[in-house]
Structure 1
Amino acid sequence: MAHSDSTLSPQLDQARQTMADVFGYRDFRPGQAEIIDSVLKGHNVLAVMPTGRGKSMCFQLPALLRGGLTVVISPLIALMRDQVSALQAVGVNAAALTSTDEAQDREAAWRALDDGSLRLLYMAPERMAVPGLAERLGRAGLSMIAVDEAHCVSQWGHDFRPDYLRISEFAQAAGRPQIAAFTATADAAARRDIAGRLFEQAPDEFVSGFDRPNLHLAVGARRSGAAQIIDFVKARPDRAGIIYCSSRKACDDIAAKLQAENVYALSYHAGLDAQTRSFRQDEFVKGDGVVMCATIAFGMGVDKPDVRYVLHAALPSSMEAYYQEIGRAGRDGDPADTLMLWSLSDAALRRRQINDGDSDEERKRMELRRLSALIAYCEAPQCRRQTLLGYFGDEIEPCGHCDLCDDPPKLIDGQVLAQKAMSAIARTGQRFGLEHLISVLRGLKTDKVMARGHDALPTFGVGEDLSKDQWMSVFRQLFASGAIDQPIDGHGEWIITPKGKEILFGKLPIKLRPPEEQRGVRSARARPSDAADQLLSETDRALYTALRKKRLELAKESGKPAYTIFADRTLIEMAASKPRSQEDLSRIFGVGARKLERYGAEFLAVIESEI
C-alpha cells in the first residue's frame, strides 16, 4: 500500500460529520477512513473491499465534500439505478445515463450537468465510446472517475469486459481527473493488471481483506434438489433471498414449487421479455420477503442490502463467481445465510463447458485450476471460511461460523474406502460413470452390470455396507483430493490419477470425512435467520413488524425500494430503543437530516401506537 504521508487528513472529521448529517451513519466501516482520506487528498486509488463494507461511500462522500462532478463507471444498470435512487432519497443530486433511462430523466441529467448542480453521474462503460462525451464532462468540471467492479478491466479476471479498456483513454480525453477504482475480488496478479491498465503511475492501494463475517457458509450434496431448497426457504419465512439456478427451466420449476408452498417466489432469466424481467426485478428490490430464482444474469447490479440468504442450486462457475454471488447476501452487515448444493455432474458439465469454449489453452488451464479450487472448497475437511479466504490469500483462524465449524467432521483413515472405490474404477476398465461404479460396489445386479459380467469382479459387492449417497460422498472427496478425475474429452467416465495410484497401492495415506447423508444442510437450517430474531424480544419483534409494514407502505407510495426509506438495521434499532422524539430518532443509525424530516413523524407514530 503506497501513501505520500502516514497521517490521516483533518478533512476526515468533516467527512464523518457530513456522513452523519446526510446518510445517518455515525462512523466509518473498517477500511473506509483510510480510503476516503486518500481520495480527499487527490490521490489515485485502487481498493479491494468485501461486498458490504461500503465501497460506494468511499467515492460518494468525497464527491459531496469537494464539489465538482464525479463520474461512476459501472456495468450494472440495476445497481446504478438503485444507488441514484438512494442518493436522491437523502437529497444528493445524482443521475444515471443508461440504455433504460426515460427521456425526461436524461434531459434532467444534462440540465443538472450544464448548470453545475450535478454531483454524481453514473454511466455504463459503453457510454465512453460516445464521441465528444469525455470532453463535455471535462468542461463540466469532472474531478474524479470512480470505477466500480474494477476487476472487469483485467483480461485475467473472471468477468472481463472489453469496454473497460477504454477508461484510461477516456480519462485522458476528459482532462486526466483523479481515478478511484474499487472491486471485491482481485488477487495480487489481478491488482497488478488493473493498476497497469487504469493508472499512469502506481495508485494508493488498499486491500482490506475478503472476509464477510456476517455470512454463514454451508455446502451440501444435492440429492432431492427442490425439496432441499423448499426446506431451506421455509425455515426463513418472509425473508428476501436469491436462489441461483443452472438453467432457465430450473428457475421456472423451482419458483413454481416454492409458489405452491405459499412462498412469494419469482423466476428471472434471459428467456423472459425485458418488461417481465424489469417488473420482477422491481418486485424483488422494492418489496419485502421476495425470493428470486435466477440465473447469474440476476443480482450483479442489485443494491438491495437486506437479502438474507443466497442459495446455489448448482455449482457456480468459479471461486471468484461464488464469492461475488454470496456477497449479495447481508450487504447491510446483519447475519445472512449461504448454502451451495452441488453434485459431481455439475463439475463434469463445467469441465465440458471450459473444454468446448473458444478460449486459448492458457485460459482453459486457468479455468480448470479455478474449478479444482472450487471442488476442493466444496469437500473441505476443515473450516469453510479458512478454505475460501485462503484462495484469495487471507489467513484466518477457524471462524466458528460455517457448517464445518458448527459440526466439525472427525476425519478417518480413508485408505480402505479409497481403495475399494478406485478398484471399481480400475477393474471396470476406467470406462464408466458413478451410477455403474456404485452399483458394482454395492453388489446390485443391474442390467448393465450383468451384461458386462461385472458381477464376477472381485470388487462386486465389497461396498454393500454403504448407501448410494455415502459412496457419492466418497467419490466427491476423492475427486476433490485429486485421486480421481474425468478426461476433459471423455464421456463421463472416471479415471485414476497418478496420486490415486499411490493411494490405491498403499504408498500414500488419505484422510476422509465419514461418508454422511445430509451434511451441510442441517446447520444452515438450525440457526436464527437474521438480526431481528437474534436481537429483539418477542414484543420488540411485533413493533419491528409494524415498522416494516409502515416502511413498505411508504415505499409503495413513492415507488422506491423499501430499503431506501430505512434499512432493516435502522428499524431493528428503533424497535429496540423505542425513540419517543425527533431528537431521540436522530440518534438512530441511518436517520439523517433529510429522512428525519420526511419520515420521522410517521415512524414515531407507529412506535407510539405499539407501546
Structure 2
Amino acid sequence: MRSSVSGRIGSGRSDDPLAGKMMMTQDASTAVSPSGAGVMGPVRQVLQDVWGYDSFRPLQEASIRSVLDRRDSLTVLPTGGGKSLCFQSPALCMDGMAVVVSPLISLMKDQVDALRACGVAAAFINSSLTQAEKQSVAEQIRAGKTKLLYVAPERLLSSRMLDFLHQTTISFFAIDEAHCISNWGHDFRPEYRGLRVLKEQFPAAAVHAYTATASQPVRDDIVNQLGLENAEVLVGDFDRPNLTYRMLRANGRLQQVVDVIERHRGESGIVYCISRKEVERTAAALNQLGTVALPYHAGMSDEDRKQSQDAFIKETCDVIVATVAFGMGIDKSNVRFVVHAGMPKSIEHYQQESGRAGRDGLESECVLIYSGGDVVTWKKIMQGDAQATAGGALQSLEAINQLCGSPVCRHKALVEYFGQPYPHENCGACDVCLDEIQLVDDPITLSQKILSCVLRVKERFGASHVAKVLVGSTEQRIVQLGHDKLSTHGLLADDGLDAVRMWIDQLVQQSYLQRTGEYQLVSLSESGRRLLHRDGNPRLSVPGKAKRSRSRAVSVDSWDGVDRGLFEALRSKRSAIASENNVPAYIVFGDATLRELARVRPTTLEAFGKIKGVGDRKLADFGETFLEPIRAYSETHQLEMDVKTVPAPLATAPRAVLPNANSISAFDHFRRGESIEEVAEKLGRAVSTVVGYLQDFLRQEKITDPSPWVDKSTRDSILANLPLVAEGRIKPMFEFFEGKVSYEAIRIVLTCHQNSETPAVSEAE
C-alpha cells in the first residue's frame, strides 16, 4: 500500500467509503509557495495519493503552475483532457478554500461525489439542499474544513454569498465551462457575464477559467469579459486520438444507430437527435429492439429528466437518447460511443458532444449521421432568433455541413478548425483514414459534368432541379423549361438521383459550388470555374459502398489482455457498490481501472495499489472488496494472476436488419390485434404505408401466419401461385388475379411465407 502524505494533508478513514465524511485539512506549514524549484512536488504527491495517477496529462502541469503562482489564467483542454485536476489538485496544496463556478446542479453533485469518494473535503451549495444542509456546509467552511466549494454563478453573485465568502480565506476562483461567458460561444449564458465582479470584490484571489471548446474569438472574449489581468492563456491539443470518428450519410438512420449500439453491446452510449419528437421515437424503437434506452429532452419534467440521467449514470440503462439539452451536466467517464442521429448545428457543438465519449482515455466511437434535410431543420429552428444569426450561427451551420460531406481526415478537419496544425498524414481513427469511404475513380470528369449542367440551367436553380436534369427526369417542370433538351440532360442517368444530389452537396462543401439567396440557388465559385479546366482536386465518394472497416491500432488502454468475463464481474461489483451508496458507478472506479484489474489480476493489496486510478483512499475502501472476485474468478477459470498483458481477440457483432422508427411505432398496435385500417387512422398514415409497417412487424417477429390480416381463401390462392413471383416480381401475380387480390394482401402473405422458408422473392414491382 502507498503511504499517505504525512505532515501535508490530514489523513483518515471513514467507515462509509462514499459518505465523504473525511475532511482534509492543511496547516500553515504545508502551503505551497508560489515560486521555487519544488513547487510541483506536493501536487504530484497529491495526484498519486488521492487519485492514483503517476503523472500529469499534457498542459495540466502548466495550468496548475498558473494556479500555484496565483496568476489569472484561461485553460482550454478538450473533454477528457483532465481540466478538473487543473484546479482540484492545487486546491489541496494551498491555504484557504477554492470556489468553483459550475453551471448545473447535476454536474456539481457528480464532481463533489467523486471528490468525496477520494477523501477530499468538497461541498456544493445550490437549491437542491435543505436549509439545514446549507447551514452544515457553512459551518464546515467557517471551520476551515472545506477545500473546494462548488456554486452556480447566480448564487455566487448574490450579495449574501459574497458577504459570506469575504469572511473566509479564498485560495482562488475556478470558472468551469467558461465558454458560457462569451456571446460567441455555443452555450452562451447571460448569468456568466456578472462574474467580472470577482476581480473587483476579491483582488487578492486569482481567477482561472476552464473550457473544452473555444476558438480564438471566444478565448479573447472570455479574458475580456472576466477582466483577467495579465492572464496566461493555455490551449491544449484539440485532438482526441482515442476517438474514432465516422460521418455517414443517412440511409436508414435507425439501422445505422443500431449498428453502432451492436458494436458496443452492454456499454454506455449517447444518441443525440435534433428534435424532441425524434428523441421519443428513437428511444421507443430501441427499447422495442432490446436496448435499454431512456429519453432526455427539455420538454420532460425535471423529475423525469433526473430519473433518466440517474439511470444512465448508475448504469441501469445503457443508452440515453437526447437532444443537446443533455450533456454539460454529465460527468461520466466511460461513455464508449456517441451517435448523432442528425447533424449538430456547429463544429463547436460537435466537439463538445462527441467529446462525451472516452473521457477515461479508452478507445471510443463517434458516429455522425447526416442529410441535407438536417440543414433545413436547423435553419427553421433558427428563424426568428436574431441572437443566433447575429452570432454567426448560419456560418457555423455551414461549417459543420461542409465537414460532414467532405471526405477528408476528420481529426485533421476538427483540429484545424480550432486553429491548430495537424501533423499526421493518416490519423488511423476515422472513416476516411481507415479507408472506409470509397471514392470515385475520376472525380474531375464527374465534377465537370455537374458544373456544366449548373451553367446550362444558367445558375438559376437549386440542387434538386440540377440533379433531376442530370439523371434525365422528364417531369412536367423540366419539360416546360426545355431542360430536357440540354446536352447535360440524362448525363448521369445510370448513377441515380440520390448519388447526384450527394455529389452536388460535396462540391458545395468543398467550395466548388455555392448556394445563394432565399431559394438556395446553386452557382459556380471561382474554384469551380477553374475546375471546369481540370484545375482542382475534388473528392467525391461512391454512394452506398462503404469499404469493410479496418481495425485501428489498439492502445495499451484498450481490451488487450483483458478478460471480458472478469471485467463484467468487476463491473457488476462496481454497480452494486454504487447503487448501495447512491452514487455514479464511475466514482467507485472508472472503466480504465476495471480493465487493468481484469488484465493484471492482482493478488495482493500492494499489487492492487499499483493499478492506475487507485488512490490511497480507494485502496483502503475497496481493495479487499475487489480482490475477492478477482481471486475467485481467476481460480475458477484457471487464469494466471499478477500478469501484465494477455492478448485477446475481439469479436465483431453481426449487423442487424431493422425497420425504421416509424414502422416500430406501429408494432404495439399490431400486437394488440388492431386492423390495418385502424392503425392507419390512429397514425395518420395511408393504408399502403401501414402495410409496409406491417411487413416490417412480420419480419421482426418472424410471424408465419397471415390469417389476422388475410382470409384463408386468399392466402391459399396466393400460395398456390407462387411460381408467378419466381422471377422476383409480384406484379405478374397481381395481374393474374385481375385485381381481385390486392397488392397489400400479396405482400403480407409472401412476407409470412418468407419467414417460414427462404425463397428468393423480391417485392419489386
Say which SS state the counterpart of residue 509 (structure 2) adopts: helix
User: Which residue number in structure 2 is paired with residue 58 of structure 1?
Assistant: 86
The question of whether the paired residues in 1 share the 8 Å contact of 2:67 and 2:208 is answered with yes
User: Which residue number in structure 2 is paired with residue 382 of structure 1?
Assistant: 408
User: Which residue number in structure 2 is paired with residue 535 of structure 1?
Assistant: 560
Q: Per the alignment, do residues 530 and 104 of structure 1 end up closer, same or farther by CA in structure 2, a change over 3 Å counting?
A: farther
| Residues 192-246 of structure 1 deviation map (CA, whole Å, 9 limit, x = unaligned) | 2222222452112222221111111111111211111111211210111111101
**TM-score, normalising length from structure 1?**
0.91
Q: Distance in 2 between matches of 1:423 and 1:502?
A: 10
Say which SS state the counterpart of residue 218 (structure 1) adopts: strand
Alignment root-mean-square deviation, CA? 2.7
Q: Distance in 1 between matches of 2:158 and 2:64?
A: 30
1:70-469 superposed matches below 5 A: 70-287=98-315, 290-354=318-382, 356-359=384-387, 363=390, 366-396=392-422, 397-398=424-425, 399-407=427-435, 412-427=441-456, 433-446=462-475, 449=478, 454-469=483-498
1:571 equivalent to 2:594? Answer yes
Q: Distance in 1 between matches of 2:553 and 2:428?
A: 15
Alpha-carbon distance, 1:121 to partner: 1.0
* AA of the residue aligned to 1:598: D
Alpha-carbon distance, 1:129 to partner: 3.5
Q: Per the alignment, do residues 323 and 9 of structure 1 end up closer, same or farther by CA in structure 2, a change over 3 Å counting?
A: farther
* Range with greater deviation from structure 2 (551-560 or 31-40): 31-40
Q: Distance in 2 between matches of 1:256 and 1:43?
A: 51
* Range with greater deviation from structure 2 (187-196 or 577-586): 187-196
Q: Per the alignment, do residues 485 and 69 of structure 1 end up closer, same or farther by CA in structure 2, a change over 3 Å counting?
A: same
The question of whether the paired residues in 2 share the 8 Å contact of 1:150 and 1:181 is answered with yes
1:13 equivalent to 2:44? Answer no
Alpha-carbon distance, 1:433 to partner: 4.8
Alpha-carbon distance, 1:425 to partner: 4.3
Q: Distance in 2 between matches of 1:107 and 1:256?
A: 43
1:598 to 592, 601, 621: 621
Alpha-carbon distance, 1:449 to partner: 4.8
Q: Per the alignment, do residues 146 and 435 of structure 1 end up closer, same or farther by CA in structure 2, a change over 3 Å counting?
A: same
Q: Distance in 2 between matches of 1:501 and 1:197?
A: 42
* AA of the residue aligned to 1:395: P
Q: Distance in 2 between matches of 1:88 and 1:394?
A: 37
1:585 equivalent to 2:612? Answer no
Q: Distance in 2 between matches of 1:572 and 1:295?
A: 31
User: Which residue number in structure 1 is paired with residue 76 of structure 2?
Assistant: 48
* Range with greater deviation from structure 2 (126-135 or 258-267): 126-135
Q: Per the alignment, do residues 21 and 509 of structure 1 end up closer, same or farther by CA in structure 2, a change over 3 Å counting?
A: closer
Q: Distance in 2 between matches of 1:486 and 1:356?
A: 21
Q: Distance in 2 between matches of 1:228 and 1:50?
A: 27
The question of whether the paired residues in 1 share the 8 Å contact of 2:514 and 2:525 is answered with no
The question of whether the paired residues in 1 share the 8 Å contact of 2:245 and 2:429 is answered with yes
Q: Distance in 2 between matches of 1:283 and 1:185?
A: 28
Q: Distance in 1 between matches of 2:561 and 2:388?
A: 55
The question of whether the paired residues in 1 share the 8 Å contact of 2:460 and 2:521 is answered with yes
Q: Per the alignment, do residues 550 and 104 of structure 1 end up closer, same or farther by CA in structure 2, a change over 3 Å counting?
A: farther
Alpha-carbon distance, 1:379 to partner: 2.8
* Range with greater deviation from structure 2 (406-415 or 294-303): 406-415
| Residues 23-43 of structure 1 deviation map (CA, whole Å, 9 limit, x = unaligned) | 222221222122212211222
Q: Distance in 2 between matches of 1:473 and 1:260?
A: 32
* AA of the residue aligned to 1:374: I
Larger Rg: 2
Q: Distance in 1 between matches of 2:75 and 2:558?
A: 34
Alpha-carbon distance, 1:173 to partner: 2.0
Q: What residue ranges of structure 2 are gaps of 5+ in the alignment?
A: 1-32, 635-765
> Share of identical aligned residues, percent?
36
User: Which residue number in structure 1 is paired with residue 14 of structure 2?
Assistant: none
Alpha-carbon distance, 1:426 to partner: 4.9
* AA of the residue aligned to 2:628: A
1:484 equivalent to 2:507? Answer no
Q: Distance in 2 between matches of 1:289 and 1:360?
A: 35
**TM-score, normalising length from structure 2?**
0.73
Q: Distance in 1 between matches of 2:523 and 2:251?
A: 25
Q: Per the alignment, do residues 260 and 107 of structure 1 end up closer, same or farther by CA in structure 2, a change over 3 Å counting?
A: same
* Range with greater deviation from structure 2 (148-157 or 600-609): 148-157
* AA of the residue aligned to 2:113: S
| Residues 514-549 of structure 1 deviation map (CA, whole Å, 9 limit, x = unaligned) | 4331449x639x679997863135xx2211111111
Q: Distance in 2 between matches of 1:455 and 1:276?
A: 56
Say which SS state the counterpart of residue 523 (structure 1) adopts: coil
Q: Per the alignment, do residues 609 and 472 of structure 1 end up closer, same or farther by CA in structure 2, a change over 3 Å counting?
A: same
User: Which residue number in structure 1 is paired with residue 631 of structure 2?
Assistant: 608
Q: Distance in 2 between matches of 1:9 and 1:286?
A: 43
| Residues 385-438 of structure 1 deviation map (CA, whole Å, 9 limit, x = unaligned) | 111101111112132221111007657543432343345445556565544443
| Residues 546-586 of structure 1 deviation map (CA, whole Å, 9 limit, x = unaligned) | 11111111111111111001111111111111111112111
Q: Per the alignment, do residues 488 and 597 of structure 1 end up closer, same or farther by CA in structure 2, a change over 3 Å counting?
A: farther
Say which SS state the counterpart of residue 123 (structure 2) adopts: strand
Say which SS state the counterpart of residue 406 (structure 1) adopts: coil
Higher relative contact order (CA 8 A, sep 6+): 1
* AA of the residue aligned to 2:614: V
Q: Distance in 1 between matches of 2:553 and 2:314?
A: 24
2:523 to 496, 518, 522: 496
* AA of the residue aligned to 1:565: V
Q: How many residues align?
A: 599
Alpha-carbon distance, 1:95 to partner: 1.5
Q: Distance in 1 between matches of 2:82 and 2:557?
A: 22
Q: Distance in 2 between matches of 1:136 and 1:327?
A: 37
| Residues 299-355 of structure 1 deviation map (CA, whole Å, 9 limit, x = unaligned) | 112010000111111111111111111111100011111111111222233345556
Q: Distance in 2 between matches of 1:424 and 1:101?
A: 66
| Residues 138-160 of structure 1 deviation map (CA, whole Å, 9 limit, x = unaligned) | 21222210011112222222222
Q: Distance in 2 between matches of 1:79 and 1:564?
A: 13
Q: Per the alignment, do residues 8 and 515 of structure 1 end up closer, same or farther by CA in structure 2, a change over 3 Å counting?
A: farther
| Residues 41-79 of structure 1 deviation map (CA, whole Å, 9 limit, x = unaligned) | 222221111211111111111111113111111213322
The question of whether the paired residues in 1 share the 8 Å contact of 2:438 and 2:546 is answered with no
* AA of the residue aligned to 2:544: E
